Amino acid sequence: MTAPQGPLTATGEGVGLPVPPIPPAVPPAGRWYQFPSAAGVVGRTAYLALLTFLTAIFIYPFLWAVSASLKPREEVFDNRLIPKHWHPSNYLDIFRGIPDIATGVPFGRWFFNSIYIGILAALTVTISSAIVAFAFAYFRFPLRNFFFGCVLATMMLPGAVTMIPVYLIWNKLHLTGTQYPLWASNLFASAFYVFLLRQFFLGIPRELFEAARMDGDNYWTMFWRIAMPLAKPALIVTAVFEFKSSWTDLIKPLIYLRDDNQFTIPRGLYNLLGVLGPSAGGHGDYQIVIAGTVLATLPMIVIFFLGQRYFIEGIATQGRKG
Amino acid sequence: MQGWRRSLAFTSLIAALGVLAFTATLASAHSTTKKAGTLNIMGFGTGDDVAESRAAIATAAVGGDVKRPSGAFNDQQFLAAVASGNPPDLVYLDRQKVGTYAAKGAFQPLTSCISSQKINTKQYRIPALNEITYKRKIYGIPEFYDVRTILVDNNVLDMAGVKLSGLDTSNWPKLLATAKKLVKIDSSGKVTRIGFDPKIPEFFPLWAKANGVDILSKDGLTPHLNDPKAVAALAYAVSLVNAQGGWDKFKSFRDTWDFFGANNEIAADQVGAFPMEQWYYNVLAGSSPKVKITALQFRNKKRQPINYETGSAWAIPKGSKNPAAACTWMKTMTSTSTWLAAAKNRASIRKAKNQPYTGISTGNAVADQAIYKQTYTSINPYFDQAVKKVLEVQRFSFNVPASPASAEFKQAWNDAINRVLAGQQTPKQALDQAQKESVAAIKTATK
Amino acid sequence: MATATATAPGPRVRARRWFAGFASRETWAAFAFLSPWLFGFVVFTAGPMIASLILSFTDYSVIQTTHNVGWDNYNRLVHDPKVTTAMKTTLIYTAMVVPAHVVFSLGLAMVLARVGRAAGFFRTAFYLPVMTPAVAVGVLYLLMFNGDYGLINAGLHFFGIHGPYWTTDPNWVKPSLVIMHLWKVGASVVILLAALMAVPTYLYEASAMDGASKWRRFRDVTLPMISPAIFFIVIINTIAALQTFDEVYTAFFNASTPYGTDASLFYVIYLFQEAFVNFHMGYASALAWGLFLVIAVITAIQVIGSRRFVYYEGNKR
């Protein structure tokens, strides 16, 4: 049995930051993961009970929201998990409005906006952060640690105080009032993902790169053909996390978007909340807002479900490939 | 992946990105150049029928080109717009914020607007105007007038054998005794019915005024938070809470109320009485029209009715590119004829759907009377009495004056009261601290 | 790698090598790769950061004319009782939430690692609260943590424990926020799950053959092998906890629930209020840089501490 290739972190020195290990070159025997087996029926039942209990706690808020979204206005907060009266027309009311209380909103348009802005944000940040992270992981160059320190430092200043200066920059570029500020800064990588992806790249044995270079690859091909496929799980995590981040962001659409048709879902729901509030003459039709919230969460669930499967399988496949 | 497949995948990825980016360009491309004559409003998106019917009239008056992105007024959004030199032409916001923005020079005084468009400021209620007047200049036009009356659940009083006269807010000891009679606490110490909810910290200005003191001087520059009368008022209100289970249990129970639902706290007889804004009658009439309620006025210690009012206002930011249209819009939205048209519209809609209609509290005294006379139709004796009472108390309203540090001032007394409720300070200590903080804040704001 | 030389190179040699580094092809390539980040960093990040640093020496309020006030803001910061309260609250909360987060997410990851077929469903279930918009979670917070009628205390009552008044008792507000935060460990669970699955199984087999108990296997095999991932999560979550805003704001400081007290005044909430409600942007910028200093120091300590506690296979870093 040859020694595992593991995390030979030739370039990880300096800043002294951690490296999650890459699966070993030697495929483990049998199943692709193996833990000491649970002790008998009692152990297994206890384990299942624990799992069910935890799952129940975690999905309760979402179940509550789904149930509330199907109730008529008077019953939204009655704390019953199964609605007493079913009112699925709430979902239609989002689009067509409640006559005389609120006009319908272009939810479909918001949905579409959120989707393509999310995709753009996720794709751009994944690719750009990977490029930058690879630089920090593989190359040796002066000021490398200083720059990486800068990367970390950008996460340490609360965004509230850079919000206005950043807005002014976009303003100078005449891009306020458009959707560009919502995703375009991802073209320049994001500190969090640079950190994450750097760790992954650090785990790739340097020998692989040396071999590629000797075969005549230049740096770019080496990056694209060797490093990227190996880091696929991390790239998927990055894409999914950033998609979620963009999907649920409220503050950027709030200050950059001016036209209703440009809104993303959180921005639209914020508006609905204001319109349906009681002092504006409405009755507090929260059931519509909650229905909108549920609709907004569904695509995220699908994307995460698909993404996590790919990501976990990616880890498994790497283990087998070696 | 093999070489060519990889290249293909790569190329398609880039192509897809390109298509997406292009779509984004198309979708976002909006002519950011404002056409001359466009009116950009911030803080007033699509609303209910009362808002929309008036907006239609106002849009016509302005000549048609109005942009109203949705969403309530948001400070960050407004500040970002101002910072970039691109403020909206007109904003719609809470009256209590106007003073601070005016003091900072973010809004223009409306003197020329009022005179050139001949806006009759006498039709608006004086406290509402006072709220948006700073250093003797008017900075806004008021819209809506939220007044507070005491909402009484007749059932609860009957069950406890208490008469309406027991809820007289001019007689504090008597009120305390009544609350104790009305409250229900079960064997485990949990509150199962609140007798009288004093609504602190929200309505602290009301209690202070009832005891004869204004928490802020009329010019908005001198707080009186630790005036002995204010301290006494707070102490009394806290004693009401303590006599009904203490803040922890009191609030825990109150948080379980289904405020907007059919099984709300009145329908479920979970509270005896509490002061509340008038729009709640509208909600009640819709969700539980069969409740038996009475509306009482809040009285000060001299038995005079008093009432604390709040609402919204229109204001013109400095740097507005279309102040003339903004002025016309404001005037039209709040004129008597517009309000009346909106009220008639709503009355007929509600009638058609067989839903009750409780009138509108506009802030325009002339409009209020006209609306009541011409559009109100009886619902049932209980709600009729409530609507009438709301109309009656309007002229006894007072306002918290405009101040250059209104947010910090409100924060100071809010925090103070929360500290007292949490048992961390006595009323005197808390209000002394709040006084110190507000004085410092106003001083900084007026440097 | 080069073998160790008999004597370490002297300072002049090292300096010459450092400068020579700029000329090498590798360096040029590196900077080419870094260029997207460099450009964005300078324009969109460093620029605004420097701007906010400059603003912290002024009385910038966005609306009024700005004046230089020198060290006034920092002076005020040091003497501001609210800053002391807010910093204390934030630090205590961080000290509570980060260990809780790590332990809980690790526990969950370990439970999840054993699941066979329906793994995808359970992983999605645990990530669900992270995806649920804050609106729903905020509403539920008040409902679940209600002292007399909430689900949490109802559950505790089942075990004979009389639960505290989570939302109103100043001593229990922070713990309740910690528990509410634990709902959102989904992201960390995903990362830890990947790390757990990457531990080579032959290590477990070997230690089993040596007769090690389950606990010792966990302590001596699992923990060191995933310590890099744990460390990553500790760093990220400490920085995040010190900047807590969203969850607390929705629960305690939005317009319809103005019941924020000192116990729930977090540093960034105070910062936000000063910036956007009270128009003291200059002071808020000073507050931000004050926090930056604290975060930088704490992160540095954690990094130095990692040299002792984090294990890298091959002992190379």
Hey, where are the domains in chain C? 11-55, 73-315
Q: Assess whether pLDDT exceeds 80 at residue A18.
A: no
DSSP state of C2: P
Q: Does A244 touch chain C (CB under 8 A)?
A: yes
**pLDDT for position A17:** 37
Contact B104 C64 (CB under 8 A): yes
Same domain, A66 and A190: no
CATH homologous superfamily of B39-146+311-352: Periplasmic binding protein-like II (3.40.190.10)
Identify the residue among B73, B255, B436 best suited for mutation to test binding to C, counting C beta carbons within 10 A and taking the highest.
B255
**pLDDT for position B295:** 93
Helix, strand or coil, per DSSP, at residue B92: strand
**pLDDT for position A300:** 85
Residue count of chain B, please give it.
Answer: 447
Q: What is the distance between the terminal CA atoms of chain C, rounded to a whole angstrom?
A: 14
State ipTM.
0.79
Q: Final residue of a domain: which of A72, A98, A124?
A: A98
**pLDDT for position A247:** 87
DSSP state of B317: B
Same domain, A151 and A176: yes
- Segment-wise mean pLDDT, segments of 10 residues, chain C, 317 residues: 61 76 77 84 86 90 84 91 92 95 92 75 85 69 78 81 83 88 87 79 82 82 82 89 82 63 84 86 91 92 82 45
Q: pLDDT band at residue B90, thresholds of 50, 70 and 90? A: very high
Same domain, A88 and A112: no
Q: Assess whether pLDDT exceeds 70 at residue B320.
A: yes
Contact B256 C149 (CB under 8 A): yes
Query: Is the distance from CB of A110 to CB of A263 less than 8 angstroms?
Result: yes
DSSP state of C252: I
Joined tokens for residue B130:
């006072």
Q: What is the distance between the terminal CA atoms of chain B, rounded to a whole angstrom?
A: 69
Q: What percent of chain A has pLDDT over 70?
A: 76
List of chain A residues whose C-beta atoms are within 8 Å of the C-beta of residue B20: 116, 119-120, 123
Rounded to whole angstroms, the Cα distance separating C75 from C54 reads 16
Q: Which helix (H) or strand (E) holds B90?
A: strand B90-94
Rounded to whole angstroms, the Cα distance separating A58 from A155 reads 28
**Å from B11 to nearest chain C CA?**
20
For residue B174, the tally of other CB atoms under 10 A from its CB is 14
Rounded to whole angstroms, the Cα distance separating A307 from C80 reads 47
Regarding predicted confidence, which is higher, B231 or C228? Answer: B231
Across residues B13-23, what is the average pLDDT?
Answer: 62
**pLDDT for position A40:** 65
* Identity of the residue in B27, B80, B283 whose CB atom sits nearest the CB atom of A284: B283
* Identity of the residue in C64, C168, C262 whose CB atom sits nearest the CB atom of B248: C168
Contact B80 A255 (CB under 8 A): yes
Same domain, A194 and A85: no
Query: Is the distance from CB of B438 to CB of B408 less than 8 angstroms?
Result: yes
Task: Tally the domains of chain A.
Answer: 2
Find the range with the poorest average confidence among B88-102, B247-261, B426-440: B247-261
Q: Does C298 touch chain A (CB under 8 A)?
A: no
Q: Which helix (H) or strand (E) holds C21?
A: helix C11-21
Contact C133 A29 (CB under 8 A): no
Across residues A275-290, what is the average pLDDT?
Answer: 63
Rounded to whole angstroms, the Cα distance separating A43 from A35 reads 14
Same domain, A284 and A307: yes
Give pLDDT tens digits for C264-298: 889 998 998 888 888 888 899 999 999 999 999 99
List of chain C residues whose C-beta atoms are within 8 Å of the C-beta of residue B75: 276-277
One-letter amino acid of A143 = L
Q: Which helix (H) or strand (E) holds B277?
A: strand B271-277
**pLDDT for position B5:** 61
Same domain, A248 and A277: yes
Give pLDDT tens digits for A67-95: 888 888 777 766 677 878 888 888 887 77
Rounded to whole angstroms, the Cα distance separating B367 from B384 reads 19
Radius of gyration over alpha carbons of chain C, in Å?
A: 25
**pLDDT for position C316:** 38
Start and end residues for every CATH 3.40.190.10 domain found in chain B: 39-146+311-352, 148-307+405-445
Q: Assess whether pLDDT exceeds 60 at residue A101.
A: no
Q: C130: which residues sit within 8 A by CB, 6+ positions away?
A: A244, C184, C186, C187
Please name the fold of domain B148-307+405-445. D-Maltodextrin-Binding Protein; domain 2 (3.40.190)
Contact C170 B424 (CB under 8 A): yes
Rounded to whole angstroms, the Cα distance separating B8 from A224 reads 14
Q: pLDDT band at residue B259, thresholds of 50, 70 and 90? A: confident
Q: Assess whether pLDDT exceeds 90 at residue A125.
A: yes
Strands A102-103 and A97-98: antiparallel
Alpha carbon distances (Å) from B415 to A284, B409, B430, C25: 27, 10, 8, 62
Residue B149's DSSP bridge partners are: B276
Same domain, A270 and A131: yes
Q: CA angle C82-C280-B317, nearest 5°?
A: 140
**Å from A289 to nearest chain C CA?**
9
Same domain, A88 and A130: no
CATH homologous superfamily of C73-315: MetI-like (1.10.3720.10)
Joined tokens for residue B410:
């409100």
- What's the CATH code of the domain at A315? 1.10.3720.10
* Identity of the residue in B52, B77, B146 whose CB atom sits nearest the CB atom of A254: B77
For residue C7, the tally of other CB atoms under 10 A from its CB is 6
Closest CA to A217 of A232, A233, A228: A228
Same domain, A138 and A201: yes
Alpha carbon distances (Å) from A99 to A102, A240, B21, C47, C205: 6, 38, 37, 49, 68
Rounded to whole angstroms, the Cα distance separating C276 from B308 reads 27
Contact B251 C167 (CB under 8 A): yes
Burial of B118: CB neighbours in 10 Å, binned 0-12, 13-18, 19+: exposed
Print the domain residue range for A46: 40-98
* Identity of the residue in A183, A274, A280 whose CB atom sits nearest the CB atom of B71: A274
Closest CA to B69 of A274, A168, C135, A282: A274
Rounded to whole angstroms, the Cα distance separating B157 from B139 reads 45
Rounded to whole angstroms, the Cα distance separating B144 from B148 reads 13
Same domain, A73 and A153: no
**pLDDT for position B20:** 62
* Identity of the residue in B105, B202, B407 whose CB atom sits nearest the CB atom of C64: B105
Rounded to whole angstroms, the Cα distance separating B180 from B162 reads 11
Residue count of chain C, please give it.
Answer: 317
* Identity of the residue in C29, C135, C276 whose CB atom sits nearest the CB atom of A139: C29
Query: Is the distance from CB of C123 to CB of C205 less than 8 angstroms?
Result: no
Give pLDDT tens digits for B395-407: 888 989 988 888 8
Subunits in contact with chain B (3 or more CB pairs closer than 8 Å):
A, C
Give pLDDT tens digits for B361-405: 888 989 988 988 888 888 888 998 998 998 888 888 898 998 888
Q: Which helix (H) or strand (E) holds C300?
A: helix C281-309
Q: Assess whether pLDDT exceeds 60 at residue A280.
A: no
Ramachandran angles phi, psi of C125, nearest 5°: -60, -45
Q: Is residue A136, in this structure, part of any structural domain at all? A: yes
List of chain A residues whose C-beta atoms are within 8 Å of the C-beta of residue C187: 241
Q: Is residue A199, in this structure, part of any structural domain at all? A: yes
- The residue assigned the tokens 């009755």 is A283
Same domain, A73 and A111: no
Q: Is residue A262, in this structure, part of any structural domain at all? A: yes
Q: Final residue of a domain: which of A80, A98, A116?
A: A98
Helix, strand or coil, per DSSP, at residue B171: coil
Rounded to whole angstroms, the Cα distance separating A95 from A107 reads 6
